[in-house]
């Protein structure tokens, strides 16, 4: 920190001194022009050297200052740029207007005053460009990869090389330089496509960013207009439009500002959609936290009613709580009891009673049309577990096709989570009051079992075999998958600390977070960061979750993954005929509950070959013990894969599980066990 402070002080001093010497040289040359009519700089080489020193000092100072800006407060970045640099353009306008007023009042030209204003504006321009250059660098490299980092480093080196041309007074308008300038322009356009940060702005923040970006764009225009306007002035002894470095820096700053403005503007209409997704995820978490917060069933139904209305943008709604087999209306929105009775009577006539039902064209049905009601779409969502009906939710919209597939999936996710929450609330309540604890645990097991996929998609590229065994009636191990596209699938595995109901509850939370976040198709490392942020709000301080996320891309023949403190992945590489563990860094979710968690997650990409085998498991496999208290261990698991990699995935799994059972002996299960075996197939010819 002391080093940076001293370096900044030295750079400020160097910039001020070089600018002052440059000003003195320019004013002296302007005086000679006025007295002797000689329009030539004194010591032009020294003048060019001072320009370079001033540019380097200001840019390095801004680089050190901008490095202190951290986090994802993107509006803060834009405000910092506007308030500390972009306003320089408006100061420039004020100075030039003041000069015009003075010369018009005195009715005479003042070359020395013009040069003074010109030099001050040059300094303001350099400060603005340096600040904007490194603010945009911070945003451009948000979510960077190695390729983008290298591309930026080369861009900075290229601009540094331009400074050498300034020292030697090279004319960038020459035929030699113009093709190079065009190539650099295309390079700048490529860099300007990296605007990932814009996607993380909310609707209100995008509106504010448009104002700030517009002001920054206007600053660019003011400076360009000022210096281009004085380019051919006979009263000036120096022309900074000949400095190629300034030209390229302005080209980058202006282009990136314009690109950010346009992307923010055109993505503004869709911002509300992504905010709705985030709101759905937050509401899902609120439902998931109901047990921990000690809320009642009535409060859970309140949250369900509010969340589903927001998610579907329903025009009217009501909720019926089933008590002693009879429906009782407990929640209403924009509908009265008489209308409810008429709709319910018609549904009973059509034998639609407490079932999952959607009708997006009510006005085409004679019965509904005769009711003369304003609604045209209806969805019925029963809150029903395997053996028990808790309630029925009715949602209505005044437009046709009001409930699309995505909205229906979100609504069913809410009702599924409500079912799980209600069942767990009842389970806890009844287990504390009577001896029916085991019977209720079976219900929770059935609900939890419904969350675990029974089948993975079958594809010609790979095969998957799974094994899951809980140490108690309900466990904390989980795995799931999500088909991201025709050629990409996301697979997650995890282990919740602890066992029993609490672990199963957190497992359900993690499943909801997985499906909520991966709808945005984010990379594994980003998923871990956002999942940690979400879980930090609901996990007890003593709880954490280990997990690993894999995204397999069949078309690219590779997969990328990140682990959050989970067991290392065991892998067989068919090309090298080698079995090994991927040794990657990672920290469990919920252990560190601040932004520094991002420093503990690493992402890895690996190309797979036909016949490669990947073994994913929880610690209940390798930490299983026999009667002598010896662990099964990673070495024995690795040995089993070495002996069985040539088999099908299903046979590899059974071989490992049989060996594990032979090692531990019967009825010796102390922790949940989960095992996934993935084998990549050779390419099959089209038939």
CA dist., res. 582 & res. 361, Å (int): 54
Q: What is the pLDDT of residue 115?
A: 81
- Is the model's pLDDT at 40 over the cut of 70? no
> Which of 211, 243, 277 delimits the end of a domain?
277
CA dist., res. 123 & res. 144, Å (int): 32
SS3 of 547, please?
strand
Kindly state the average pLDDT of the residues 36-43. 52
Q: What is the pLDDT of residue 290?
A: 46
> Which of 231, 252, 277 delimits the end of a domain?
277
Do 149 and 31 reside in the same domain of the chain? Answer: yes
**Greater model confidence, 290 or 423:** 423
According to DSSP H, which parts of 570-681 are helical? 619-622, 633-644, 649-664
Q: Is residue 448 situated within a structural domain?
A: no
**Measured between alpha carbons, how far is residue 519 from residues 71, 391, 395, 490, 515 in Å?**
24, 29, 24, 11, 6
SS3 of 6, please?
helix
CA dist., res. 35 & res. 108, Å (int): 16
Do 268 and 307 reside in the same domain of the chain? Answer: no
Range with the lowest mean pLDDT among 27-41, 406-420, 458-472, 486-500?
27-41
Q: What is the pLDDT of residue 216?
A: 93
Q: Is residue 282 situated within a structural domain?
A: no
3-state SS record for 601-623: CCEEEEECCCCCEEEEECHHHHC
The answer to whether 470 touches 477, Cβ cutoff 8 Å, is yes
Kindly state the average pLDDT of the residues 410-431. 74
- Computed over every residue of the chain, the mean pLDDT equals 82
Q: Which of 249-253, 385-389, 671-675 has the highest mean pLDDT?
A: 249-253
Q: What is the pLDDT of residue 686?
A: 44
According to DSSP H, which parts of 234-319 are helical? 244-288, 297-312
CATH number of the domain at 326, please. Answer: 3.30.450.40
Is-above-0.75 flag for pTM? Answer: no
For the chain, give the percent of residues with pLDDT over 90: 27
Kindly state the average pLDDT of the residues 497-517. 78
List pLDDT tens digits, range 261-303.
998 888 777 655 555 555 555 555 555 554 444 467 788 788 8
Q: Is residue 513 situated within a structural domain?
A: yes
List pLDDT tens digits, range 549-593.
999 998 899 999 999 999 999 999 999 999 999 988 889 998 898
Q: Is residue 450 situated within a structural domain?
A: no
- Is the model's pLDDT at 497 over the cut of 50? yes
Q: What is the pLDDT of residue 285?
A: 52
List pLDDT tens digits, range 366-376.
888 888 888 99
Range with the lowest mean pLDDT among 30-39, 220-229, 271-280, 337-346?
271-280
Do 151 and 212 reside in the same domain of the chain? Answer: yes
Kindly state the average pLDDT of the residues 487-516. 82
Q: pLDDT category, 684, cuts 50, 70, 90? A: low
Q: Is residue 444 situated within a structural domain?
A: no
Q: Is residue 236 situated within a structural domain?
A: yes
**Measured between alpha carbons, how far is residue 324 from residues 355, 389, 390 in Å?**
18, 10, 10
CATH number of the domain at 580, please. Answer: 3.60.40.10
List pLDDT tens digits, range 588-645.
998 898 888 888 999 999 999 999 999 999 998 999 988 888 999 999 999 999 999 9
Q: Is residue 492 situated within a structural domain?
A: yes
What residue numbers bound the domain in which 81 lies? 1-277
């Amino acid at each position: 920190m002391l080093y940076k402070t001293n370096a900044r002080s030295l750079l400020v001093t160097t910039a001020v001194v070089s600018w002052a010497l440059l000003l003195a040289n320019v004013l002296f040359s302007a005086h000679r022009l006025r007295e002797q009519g000689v329009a030539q700089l004194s010591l032009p080489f020294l003048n060019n050297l001072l320009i370079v020193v001033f540019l380097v000092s200001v840019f390095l100072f801004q680089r050190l200052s901008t490095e202190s800006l951290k986090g994802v407060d993107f509006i803060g970045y834009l405000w910092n740029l506007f308030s500390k640099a972009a306003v320089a353009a408006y100061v420039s306008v004020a100075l030039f207007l003041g000069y015009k007023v003075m010369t018009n009042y005195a009715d005479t030209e003042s070359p020395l005053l013009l040069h003074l204003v010109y030099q001050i504006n040059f300094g303001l321009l350099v400060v603005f460009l340096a600040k904007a250059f490194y603010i945009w660098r911070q945003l451009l490299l948000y979510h960077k990869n190695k390729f983008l980092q290298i591309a930026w480093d080369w861009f900075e080196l290229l601009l540094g090389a331009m400074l050498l041309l300034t020292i030697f007074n090279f004319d960038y308008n020459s035929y030699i330089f113009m093709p190079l300038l065009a190539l650099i322009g295309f390079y700048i356009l490529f860099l300007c496509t990296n605007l990932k940060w814009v996607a993380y702005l909310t609707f209100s923040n995008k509106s504010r960013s448009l104002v700030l970006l517009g002001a920054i764009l206007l600053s660019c225009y003011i400076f360009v207009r000022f210096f281009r306007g004085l380019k051919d002035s006979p009263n000036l002894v120096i022309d900074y439009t000949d400095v190629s470095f300034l030209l390229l820096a302005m080209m980058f700053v202006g282009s990136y500002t314009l690109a950010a403005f346009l992307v923010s503007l055109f993505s503004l209409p869709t911002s509300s959609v992504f905010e709705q997704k985030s709101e759905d995820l937050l509401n899902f978490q609120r439902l998931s936290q109901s047990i921990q917060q000690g809320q009642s069933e009535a409060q859970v139904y309140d949250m369900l009613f509010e969340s589903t209305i927001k998610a579907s943008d329903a025009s009217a709604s009501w909720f019926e709580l089933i008590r002693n087999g009879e429906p009782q209306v407990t929640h209403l929105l924009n509908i009265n009891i008489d209308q409810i009775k008429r709709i319910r009577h018609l549904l009973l006539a059509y034998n639609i009673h407490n079932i999952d039902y959607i009708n997006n064209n009510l006005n085409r049905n004679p019965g509904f049309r005769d009711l003369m009601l304003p609604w045209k779409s209806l969805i019925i969502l029963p809150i029903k577990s395997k053996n028990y009906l808790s309630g029925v939710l009715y949602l209505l919209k005044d437009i046709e096709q009001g409930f699309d597939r995505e909205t229906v999936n979100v609504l069913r996710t809410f009702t599924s989570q409500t079912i799980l929450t209600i069942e767990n609330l009842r389970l806890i309540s009844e287990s504390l009051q009577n001896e029916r604890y085991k019977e209720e645990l079976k219900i929770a097991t059935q609900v939890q079992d419904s969350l675990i996929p029974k089948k993975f998609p079958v594809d010609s590229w790979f095969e998957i075999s799974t094994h899951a065994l809980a140490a108690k009636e309900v466990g904390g191990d989980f795995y799931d998958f999500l088909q991201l596209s025709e050629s990409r699938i996301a697979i997650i595995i995890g282990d919740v600390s602890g066992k029993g109901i609490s672990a199963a509850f957190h497992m359900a939370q993690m499943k909801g977070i997985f499906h909520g976040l991966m709808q945005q198709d984010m990379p594994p490392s980003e998923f871990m960061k956002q999942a940690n942020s979400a879980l930090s709000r609901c996990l007890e301080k003593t709880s954490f979750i280990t997990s690993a996320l894999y995204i397999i891309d069949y078309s690219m023949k590779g997969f990328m993954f990140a682990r959050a403190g989970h067991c290392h992945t065991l892998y067989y590489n068919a090309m090298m005929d080698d079995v090994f563990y991927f040794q990657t860094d990672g920290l469990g979710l919920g252990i560190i509950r601040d932004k520094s968690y991002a420093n503990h997650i690493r992402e890895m990409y690996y190309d797979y070959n036909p016949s490669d085998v990947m073994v994913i498991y929880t610690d209940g496999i390798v930490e299983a013990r026999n009667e002598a208290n010896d662990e099964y261990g990673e070495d024995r698991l690795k040995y089993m894969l070495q002996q069985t990699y040539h088999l099908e995935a299903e046979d590899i799994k059974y071989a490992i599980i049989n060996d594990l059972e032979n090692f531990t002996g019967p009825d010796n299960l102390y922790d949940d066990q989960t095992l996934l075996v993935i084998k990549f197939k050779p390419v099959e010819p089209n038939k």
